[in-house]
Amino acid sequence: MADPRSDSPDGDHGAAPRRSIAVISHPDAGKSTLTEALALHARAITEAGAVHGKGDRAGVVSDWLEMEQKRGISITSAALQFEFDGMVINLLDTPGHADFSEDTYRVLTAVDAAVMLLDAAKGLEPQTLKLFAVCRRRGIPVITFVNKWDRPGREALALVDELAERIDLHATPVTWPVGEAGDLQGLLDARHEHVTMYRRAPGGATLAEEEPLSREEATARFPDRMPDAVDSMGLLGEVDVETFLQGRTSPLLFGAALTNIGVRQLLEVVTTLAPAPGSRPDVTGEPRPVDGPFSGVVFKMQAGMDPKHRDHVAFLRVCSGVFRRGTVYTHAQSGRPFATKYAASVFGRERETVEDAYPGDVVGLVNATNLAVGDTLYDPDGPPVEFPPMPVFAPEHFLAARAADPGRSKQFRKGIAQLEQEGVVQVLVSEARGDGQPVLAAVGPLQFEVASFRMEHEFRAPIRTETLPYSVARLANDQDVEILAGTPGVEIAHRADGTRVALIRDIWRLRGLRRDKPDLELAPLLADAVED
């Protein structure tokens, strides 16, 4: 059988080459706008929307939740699949806000490369630094795109120096701006040694007109700017694929996503430099070859995508083999069969039935209520496989929730269970409060806003909440529970699987407890937790 990730479209099953990438950045750097521009350049959409749906323009396809459109921020990750230059691109837009880090980190388990977006005026920001560190730990190569170069900002070489000094990443230019930030005259292309001039489309809803100039023509037109651009680019060296894949260098591009400048070049870099899907290690560390039997991992659960039907969609990354709709696969966690009658390719909120999918593709499994984030499916005719669980964060914010209307308790319980299944919040039941007032646990308070909004608007079960005075959670065994009984500043709760958890006021209280009660164990809440 031919390798399904082959870059030849003539392999078995007619599989075109695949690239799977995520767009990551600090909030407000322009991720959703860039995602929209990439789809526009790939002709997947005919007109680019705008964050907030400004003017006569629609909202961006990747921010489809009502709350996202009202707030103008990405709250949940979104998948878009489209074709460009004979290649299938699986593009995942991610939330930038730190409160939604778990969603972003899960997405990074499902891609093979990332586009790191920098604001030309701000450079590396805190959340960008954290996300880049995750990419480095996971071995995900990073392409850097400096956005908003049509506005005043920092010097290009200063941004390059910052990458080297703060994250030890050497930038190798693919494009370089002719003109400083806020005075962009064109982009010098290192590959073709020409300059692309742009005539912006009104409002950025359609593609900007491009005019290529030879280096000589550009020098004649911009005698004061071209020498600096050529000299600066020459200082930094050429793109090297090997060191890029090792995470030591990053192809560097400049542009302005809102006006669709420099976006085509970014797409070309994704298709020519980003790696094809490769073997993925299972829970034992053994690699699952991409040309083996089908296997896939669920990295996201989402409900409410179709306002007419309250269905669940499990986002599954195909890891090996060929996914075929209608096939009954094995659910690794339960050992039970799982039918795939309702499978779709996803483009933001929109979806259409998909018959086959290949490594790197994202498949939406509709009404997949038996699946959860981190679950594995595999072909029962091949060797069993289970992939590692999704990374999670230890929660630092807690509140008790109850139904505002006791007559809506059934809807309340159903909604809370669904939010837990999707990973919107973690849910605990306090032994003192009972299951009528579950404890919601989160990385950041914005998660509670999302939970509250969805409980009211999707499940018609508004909630009342009480902020709890805790910031630390630890596993509590039988001995821990006995020792902590009646201790001020501590509350015992349990997860759905019965595991008990100690909620503790703060880290100093935890240290005091360990000092005063040396027999306490209080292990980390989750063995695979990501410490911030």
22: domain CATH number? 3.40.50.300
Q: Which of 228, 258, 273 is the last residue of a domain?
A: 273
pLDDT of residue 526: 54
Higher pLDDT, 484 or 418: 484
Q: Kind and range of the H or E element at 441?
A: strand 439-442
Query: In the predicted model, what is the mean pLDDT of residues 91-113?
Result: 77
pLDDT of residue 304: 61
Long-range contacts of 272-276 (CB under 8 A, 24+ apart): 273/143, 273/239, 273/241, 273/244, 274/19, 274/21, 274/112, 274/113, 274/141, 274/143, 275/19, 275/112, 275/113, 275/141, 275/245, 276/5, 276/6, 276/7, 276/17, 276/18, 276/19, 276/112, 276/360
Same domain, 318 and 422: no
416: domain CATH number? 3.30.70.3280
Same domain, 316 and 235: no
Look at residue 256 and tell me if it is in a domain.
yes
Does pLDDT of 528 surpass 50?
Answer: no
365: domain CATH number? 2.40.30.10
Same domain, 210 and 326: no
Same domain, 246 and 287: no
Look at residue 1 and tell me if it is in a domain.
no
Look at residue 10 and tell me if it is in a domain.
no
Quote the number of domains for the chain.
Answer: 3
Query: In the predicted model, what is the mean pLDDT of residues 395-407?
Result: 93
Q: Which of 378, 407, 423 is the last residue of a domain?
A: 378
Same domain, 140 and 284: no
pLDDT in tens, 309-362: 556 789 999 999 999 999 999 999 999 999 999 998 877 667 788 999 999 999
Taking the C-alpha atoms of residue 479 and residue 484, their distance in angstroms, rounded to an integer, is 9
Query: How many other β-carbons are positioned within 10 Å of the β-carbon of residue 345?
Result: 21
Does residue 87 sit in helix, strand or coil?
strand
CB 132 within 8 A of CB 138: no
Name the pairing type of β-strands 312-320 and 362-366.
antiparallel
Return the top range by mean pLDDT from 51-55, 126-130, 390-394: 126-130
46-50, 164-168, 251-255, 397-401: range with lowest mean pLDDT: 46-50
Q: Which pair of tokens denotes residue 89? A: 């691109």
259-268, 302-311, 409-418: range with lowest mean pLDDT: 302-311
Q: Which residues carry a binding-site annotation for GTP?
A: 93-97
Look at residue 141 and tell me if it is in a domain.
yes
Same domain, 262 and 165: yes
Query: In the predicted model, what is the mean pLDDT of residues 107-119?
Result: 93
The residues that bridge with 175 in the sheet, in sequence order, are 189
Does residue 236 sit in helix, strand or coil?
coil
Taking the C-alpha atoms of residue 94 and residue 140, their distance in angstroms, rounded to an integer, is 15
CB 94 within 8 A of CB 70: no
Does pLDDT of 64 surpass 70?
Answer: no
Higher pLDDT, 101 or 20: 20
Higher pLDDT, 459 or 51: 459
Same domain, 211 and 299: no
Does pLDDT of 170 surpass 60?
Answer: yes
Q: Which of 273, 301, 328 is the last residue of a domain?
A: 273
66-75, 138-147, 234-243: range with lowest mean pLDDT: 66-75
Buried b (16+ CB within 10 A) or exposed e, 280-297: bebeeeeebbbbbbbbbb
Same domain, 68 and 189: yes
pLDDT of residue 525: 67
Same domain, 402 and 317: no
Residue carrying the six token digits 């806020």: 182
Does pLDDT of 400 surpass 60?
Answer: yes
Taking the C-alpha atoms of residue 285 and residue 132, their distance in angstroms, rounded to an integer, is 23
Look at residue 386 and tell me if it is in a domain.
no
Q: Could you tell me which of 29, 104, 131 has the C-alpha nearest to residue 73? A: 29
pLDDT of residue 216: 93
Same domain, 269 and 284: no
Query: How many other β-carbons are positioned within 10 Å of the β-carbon of residue 95?
Result: 26
Higher pLDDT, 200 or 107: 107
pLDDT of residue 68: 46
Look at residue 13 and tell me if it is in a domain.
no
Q: Which residues carry a binding-site annotation?
A: 93-97
pLDDT of residue 4: 34
Residue carrying the six token digits 């593009």: 91
Does pLDDT of 56 surpass 50?
Answer: no
Look at residue 6 and tell me if it is in a domain.
no
Same domain, 284 and 269: no
pLDDT of residue 517: 93
pLDDT of residue 79: 83
Query: In the predicted model, what is the mean pLDDT of residues 13-34?
Result: 80
Cα 37 to Cα 22, 143, 151, 256, 322, distances in angstroms: 14, 16, 18, 10, 30
pLDDT in tens, 281-317: 999 999 999 999 999 999 988 766 555 555 678 999 9
Look at residue 387 and tell me if it is in a domain.
no
6-20, 106-120, 178-192, 313-327: range with lowest mean pLDDT: 6-20
* Domain extent for 340: 280-378
Query: How many other β-carbons are positioned within 10 Å of the β-carbon of residue 478?
Result: 8
pLDDT of residue 66: 52
Q: Which pair of tokens denotes residue 400? A: 């008790």
Q: Which pair of tokens denotes residue 96? A: 């930038």
Same domain, 136 and 93: yes
pLDDT in tens, 204-261: 667 888 999 999 999 999 999 999 999 999 999 999 999 999 999 999 999 999 899 9
pLDDT of residue 178: 96
pLDDT of residue 207: 81
Higher pLDDT, 256 or 369: 256
- Grade residue 100 by pLDDT with cuts at 50, 70 and 90: low
